[in-house]
């Protein structure tokens, strides 16, 4: 069809590669997404404490990771962390291997990148909270801590959910850059396959479709979550 040749797809070896690539991509995305959300929450929470030096640290972290290319961050993580000299002995082979694999370095760098963006999203969610709602909570005697958990966080979470969806879909797509530091995810195996078969266009079309499907799952899940969490009577609420 259209002169495209997909006969290589019947080769079990390539099927294996694709499947492994997809699984690694999902694993990398899931790990770094979870970590990014946790970093985001902790960072945003730290900012609400309004402690001068803590603010400075969090803001520096956000600026560094938001304002530099994620590919550079990943290369940086790979070359610094793997050359730190942290080695462990693999019990199965008896060989000395770096403690932090390429996969670990990619996870860490993606988590920090996503985390920086998530801090900003959560911070803006907390800051756009109507002042009057906070005043109401104060007048009811809520302490700062319980006010945050019982009133501000549930409302802020709903405000920043759309921004979080953007961050997570971007993070998912950015996992493809891990191929550069030899993490065997989908993009990495795609390269392997077209280097083997010279069917570059065919492989790229297939990989594109796979990414579309995978990221759609994320956006679909987030849309469901948004609808589920919506306040009845506001926005998407019924």
Partner 1 sequence: MNRSDALIEIDGIRKSFGTFEVLKGISLNVSKGEAVCIIGPSGSGKSTILRCINGLIPINEGFIRVGNHRVHEMRSEKAMRPLRHQVAMVFQQYNLFPHRTALENIMMAPIQVLGHDKAEVEDRARKLLAKVRLSEKADSYPGQLSGGQQQRVAIARALAMQPDIILFDEVTAALDPETVKEVLFTIRQLVEEGLTCVLVTHEMKFAREVSHRVCFTDRGMIVESAPPAEFFDNPQDPRTREFLGQVL
Instruction: Please say whether the beta carbons of 181 and 102 come within 8 A.
Output: yes
Site pattern 69..108 for partner 1 (x: CB under 8 A): ----------------------------------------
The whole-angstrom separation of Cα 74 and Cα 187 is 15
Q: List the one residue out of 105, 106, 87 whose CA is nearest residue 97.
A: 87
CB of 35 to partner 1, least distance (A): 27
Instruction: Show Cβ contacts of residue 44 under 8 Å, excluding neighbours closer than 6 positions.
Output: 118, 119, 122, 123, 125, 126
CB of 158 to partner 1, least distance (A): 7
Q: In this complex, which beta carbon is closest to partner 1, that of residue 67 or of residue 143?
A: 143
User: Angle of helix 70-81 relative to helix 102-127, nearest 10 degrees?
Assistant: 130
The whole-angstrom separation of Cα 140 and Cα 179 is 54
Options 15-23, 178-186, 211-219, 230-238: segment touching partner 1 (CB under 8 A): 230-238
Q: In this complex, which beta carbon is closest to partner 1, that of residue 26 or of residue 155?
A: 155
Q: In this complex, which beta carbon is closest to partner 1, that of residue 51 or of residue 86?
A: 51
CB of 105 to partner 1, least distance (A): 39
Q: Is 237 in the site for partner 1 (CB under 8 A)?
A: yes
Residues from 131 through 170 that contact partner 1 (CB under 8 A): 132-133, 135-144, 146, 150-151, 154-155, 158
CB of 70 to partner 1, least distance (A): 34
Q: In this complex, which beta carbon is closest to partner 1, that of residue 30 or of residue 157?
A: 157
Q: What are the beta bridge partners of residue 98?
A: 87
Structure tokens at 14: 């390539």
State the CB neighbour count (10 A cutoff) for residue 54.
13
Q: In this complex, which beta carbon is closest to partner 1, that of residue 208 or of residue 229?
A: 229
CB of 139 to partner 1, least distance (A): 4
Whether the CA torsion 11, 179, 169, 105 is positive or negative: it is positive
The whole-angstrom separation of Cα 235 and Cα 232 is 8
Q: In this complex, which beta carbon is closest to partner 1, that of residue 69 or of residue 162?
A: 162
Q: Which residues bind partner 1 (CB under 8 A)?
A: 130, 132-133, 135-144, 146, 150-151, 154-155, 158, 231-234, 237
């Amino acid at each position: 069809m259209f002169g495209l040749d997909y006969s290589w797809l019947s080769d079990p070896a390539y099927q294996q590669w694709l499947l492994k690539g997809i699984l690694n991509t999902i694993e990398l995305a899931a790990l770094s997404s979870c970590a990014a959300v946790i970093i985001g929450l902790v960072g945003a929470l730290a900012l609400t404490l309004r402690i001068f030096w803590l603010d400075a640290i969090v803001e520096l972290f956000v600026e560094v990771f938001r304002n530099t290319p994620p590919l550079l961050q990943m290369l940086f993580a790979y070359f610094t962390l793997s050359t730190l000299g942290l080695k462990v002995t693999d019990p199965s082979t008896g060989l000395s291997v770096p403690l932090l694999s390429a996969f670990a370095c990619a996870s860490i760098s993606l988590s920090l990148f996503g985390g920086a963006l998530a801090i900003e999203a959560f911070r803006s969610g907390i800051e756009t909270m109507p002042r009057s709602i906070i005043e109401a909570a104060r007048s009811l005697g809520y302490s700062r801590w319980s006010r945050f958990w019982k009133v501000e966080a549930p409302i802020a979470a709903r405000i920043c959910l759309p921004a979080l969806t953007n961050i997570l879909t971007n993070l998912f797509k950015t996992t493809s850059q891990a191929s550069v530091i030899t993490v065997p995810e989908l993009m990495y195996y795609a390269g392997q396959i077209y280097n083997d078969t010279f069917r570059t266009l065919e492989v790229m079309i297939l990989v594109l479709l796979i990414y579309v499907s995978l990221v759609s799952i994320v956006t679909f899940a987030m849309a469901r979550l948004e609808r589920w969490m919506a306040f009845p009577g506001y926005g998407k609420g019924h």
